[in-house]
Structure 1
Amino acid sequence: MSLAPVRTESGPESSDAAAARPALPSLTGARWWAAFAVFLLHALVFLPVYPFQKSELFRQIHQLMPMQLGAAGVTFFFVLSGFIIYWSFRPGSSVPRFYWRRVLKIYPTHLVAALAFILVASVPLSRMVVWAPNLALIHTWVPKWTTVGGLNVPSWSLAAEILFYLSFPLALPLVRRIRSHQVWWVLAGLLVAILLLHTAYYLWVPGPKGIANTFAPRLIPGDVSPYFELHAAPIWFEQSDIPVAASYWLSYNFPLSRLPEFFLGVLAARLVLEGRWRNTRLAPPMIVLMIAYAATWVVPPNYKMSALLLAPMTAVVATLAARDLAGIRGFTASPRMVWLGNISFAFYLIQFPVMVLITRLLIGGKQFGPLGWLGFAALSLVVSTVVAAAIYHWIDDPLMRKFSGRRTAAKQAGSTPPGPRE
């Protein structure tokens, strides 16, 4: 099935074409699976179920669900963010309104999740270094776990998103100056630059040099489950400084290092809009993505977390959009998946506070095996989904409807990372 481009061959798409861009429900539904991948990793690491977490079975399961599982979900969100932001930003749109919509989409849900974490983890508000940088979403600019992991851990990715949004209107004129036939070359050059950047981090910045899984539970002595996973424990917030490996922080958390991933999505959106991405077969990019994911087991952490996955991940995002434009409605475009995609941002942020609460009330002081962990993981999934739905329907969506100024194609298409829609 062919796709009709929504631009001329020689220049950027017209204002009328931009205003008529269709919804992309497949991208909305796919957001849920990315958020679910993050949840699986967090449930394995952040539910301190002892002695299960100290068993050989746990070690084997963690090999099957390593750090790059959750990292792949974040990588998808970052690429998707660039795609949807470009898709929904119409020529002549107000830049201040664009910034206002991004603030309105991110901060209310972020603050609700942060407040929930403060309450369930009994965070000491007297130590502003623990919570203030996180609330402002500037906490990942400093390579210290005191700030990077100082509050609701999943919110680290929002600090990168803030940079993405700030940079987009500034870089947009440059993106639009790229001639249509050169977009492929620029995208390929960006991928090469990302690989070179992470290679430089690996070669010349202190940090892990092996291929071991470095995102693992922080265990304490004994076989009785603690009342707090260490990232939510009172002792964590009392420490004056918690260093983090520089190369790990630069490769994964540092916003500038993740900025190119956002612009891969921007360039992919141009390819789809201009009719230069016509593939609607999802199997080829998914197979390449699985091969790249398998390769992450044998490379250092600098490459595990995004570098090897970016090319096929970008192809998957572009193909899902192309399928929607061609009228191909797969499983991720179903109404149920679209609903799950819409609540995925709140789900992504609230999952850790929910796990902290379940640990404090039900896990701490007891002993459980693998079935116990499985039961608590399932409970965390259900509670996180219910609370996320409440946040979306009672806070997020009403605020966007009342104060955003307009409803756009991005509302239907889904949005930005871990889920904010345009």
Structure 2
Amino acid sequence: MMASEVVAGDRDALAELDRRRPALPSLTGARWWAAFAVFVLHALVFLPVYPFQKSDLFRHLHQLLPMQLGAAGVTFFFVLSGFIIFWSFKPNSSVPRFYWRRVLKIYPTHLVAAAVFVVAASVPLHRLVVWVPNLALVHTWVPKWTTVGGLNVPSWSLCSEILFYFSFPLLLPLVRRIPSHRLWWWLGGLLMFILLLHTAYYLWVPGPKGIANVFAPRLVRGDVSPFFELHASQAWFQQPDIPVSPAYWLSYNFPASRLPEFFLGVLAGRLVLEGHWRLTSVRMPLAALAISYAATWVVPVNYKMSALLVGPMTAVVATLAARDLAGLRGLNSTPRMVWFGNISYAFYLIQFPVMVLITRWFIGGRQFGFLGWLGFAALCLIVSTVAAAVIYHWIDDPLMRRFAGRRSKTPDAPDSRPPAPELNTVGVQPAR
């Protein structure tokens, strides 16, 4: 076969892949593990089980499962968001329809979870600053609001997602202008920019400079479990202001600081779509992620949450997508894991309100050790999963089908069928 015929065949395969954008079930299934990592950390610090949380055993566990465990899950979501948004946004897609679908996907589930939290924590509605910015998903833009760490805590990341979605159609033409052979340079440059950005925060912005874990439960006096963890207590909502470390806020909560992570996912999507990402074995990306995660124990807080993890996380996302395109099936692409992935967004948002309810009904006023905490964590996991399934099947999915024009087979609801074998011609190599 002539070289020109091979190139022509690759171009045809690329054009077909660009037209079809097949579902990527492994990415959907992997979302569950990211949400579960967030849950594990939240169960450890947001379930006020006394005297367990004041014991040496708790301190040892928190050293093994520090803040960066949950932060790694958020970083995965941000990179994955960029990849999936790029993958699902075809060249002829409507920008107004894109914005409408993103609003419909984000806000209903967010509002349901917020409403559950308001009831569970008896939030004082007369203080508008407590809940209005949170409902509008603008509360992390200013580090002096009571709401930065208040109301439904996990919703802070949605402020970043809103910025991602708003900026995507505006910056996509620039991304598309990048020559194909320079995508790797742009990916590396963006990674370097992220490291320099967090280094600037570390050097010139006030905040913790040590390597200690700064994310720990806020404890009250006594060995009897309180009825509310501090983030859900009346004392929290009555404060006129909550001091926030500027360096911590900029590194973790500030939406603009997280925007490069989203566009790493976008660039990774182009690399996979255009056949430049050939790796389909997840062993190397996972090994790199494990090494980077271990390194977070010995770096300042500005680097713990995302700066060291985002590169390997991007490799994991791209490799999982390449596996799907190559027809390679693993645990994350099974129908059961795809289902868990589909409910993961609701699970991520409802877990803290569930913890507030269980604390109020079963934990407060009593004393428990490690086994008590473990039992309540398991109860929260079960209730949160059931609640997430209800929200997804009764609210999220029906709204998307009714008002967003979602078909039965989209990246939001991937099928489990392997892609056509000819997709291997775009450069995706089988695992060895």
Question: Fold conserved (TM > 0.5)?
Answer: yes
The alignment's TM-score, normalised by the length of structure 1, stands at 0.94
Is the CA contact 1:38–1:74 (under 8 Å) kept in the aligned structure 2? yes
Shift of 1:5: 11
Matched AA of 1:301: V
- The answer on whether the counterparts of 1:21 and 1:409 sit within 8 Å (CA) in structure 2 is no
Deviation at residue 413 of structure 1 after TM alignment: 4.3
Structure 1 residues 42-76: Cα deviation after superposition (integer angstroms, max 9, x where no partner): 00000000000000000000011100000000000
User: Is the 2:76–2:313 Cα contact (8 Å) retained in structure 1?
Assistant: yes
Mapped partners of 1:354, 1:341: distance in 2: 19
Measure, in 2, the Cα distance between the counterparts of 1:306 and 1:332: 23
8 A Cα contact 2:17 2:273, kept in partner: no
> Is the 8 Å Cα contact of residues 42 and 352 (structure 1) preserved in structure 2?
yes
Partner of 1:348: 348
**How many residue pairs align between the two structures?**
409
Q: Which ranges of structure 2 fall in alignment gaps of 5 or more residues?
A: 1-5, 416-432
* Whole-Å separation in 2 of the counterparts to 1:308 and 1:17: 32
Deviation of 1:224 (Å)? 0.4
Q: Quote the residue 1:418 is aligned against.
A: none
For 1:409, the aligned partner's letter is T
Aligned to 1:237: 237
Does the aligned pair in 2 maintain the 1:130–1:146 contact within 8 Å?
yes
| Residues 241-268 of structure 1: per-residue CA shift (max 9 Å, x gap) | 1110000000000000000000000000
Distance 1:297 1:5, change over 3 A: farther
| Aligned twin of 1:374 | 374
Alpha carbons 1:6, 1:274 under 8 Å: kept: no
Q: For 1:144-223, what aligned pairs fall within 5 Å after superposition?
A: 144=144, 146-223=146-223
Aligned to 1:349, the other structure's residue is in SS state helix
Asked if 2 retains the 8 angstrom alpha-carbon contact of 1:5 and 1:273, the reply is: no
Alignment of structure 1 residues 35-74 onto 2, 5 Å:
35-74=35-74
2:106 maps to 106
Does 1:410 find its partner at 2:398? no
Letter aligned with residue 321 of structure 2 = A
Instruction: Tell me by how many angstroms 1:125 deviates.
Output: 0.2
Letter in structure 1 aligned against 2:313? M
Q: CA, structure 1 residues 8+147, in 2 after alignment: closer, same or farther (shift >3 Å)?
A: farther
Q: Deviations over 1:213-236 (max 9, x none)?
A: 111000011000000000000110
- Alignment partner, residue 384 of structure 2: 384
Alpha-carbon offset, residue 406 of structure 1: 3.2
Question: What is the aligned partner in structure 2 of residue 286 from structure 1?
Answer: 286
Which residue matches 2:401?
401
* Alpha-carbon distance between aligned partners in 2 of 1:227 and 1:34, rounded to the nearest angstrom: 28
Aligned to 1:80: 80
Q: Give distance in 2, aligned partners of 1:40 and 1:80.
A: 20
Q: CA deviation at 1:113?
A: 0.1
Contact 2:40/2:70 (<8 A) preserved: yes
Partner of 2:33: 33
Give distance in 1, aligned partners of 2:348 and 2:29.
Answer: 14
CA contact (8 A) 1:24 1:412 kept: no
Q: Which secondary structure does the structure 1 equivalent of 2:411 belong to?
A: helix
**CA shift for structure 1 position 128:** 0.4
Partner AA of 1:248 in structure 2: Y
1:401 deviates by 0.5
- Structure number with greater Rg is 2
* CA distance in structure 2 between the partners assigned to 1:109 and 1:379 by the alignment: 22
| CA-atom RMSD in angstroms | 1.8
Offset at 1:18? Answer: 2.9
- Aligned partner of 2:424 in structure 1 is none
User: 1:146-172: per-residue Cα shift (whole Å, max 9, x none)?
Assistant: 121221000000000000000000000
Whole-angstrom CA distance in 2 between matches of 1:317 and 1:6: 28
AA in 1 matched with 2:354: V
The TM-score with structure 2 as length reference comes to: 0.92
Partners of 1:113 and 1:7 in 2: how far apart?
49
Shift of 1:8: 6.9
**Native 8 Å contact 1:5 1:272 kept in 2:** no
Which position in structure 1 is the counterpart of 2:418? none
Q: Aligned equivalents of 2:187 and 2:98: distance in 1?
A: 25
Percent of aligned positions with the same letter in both sequences? 77
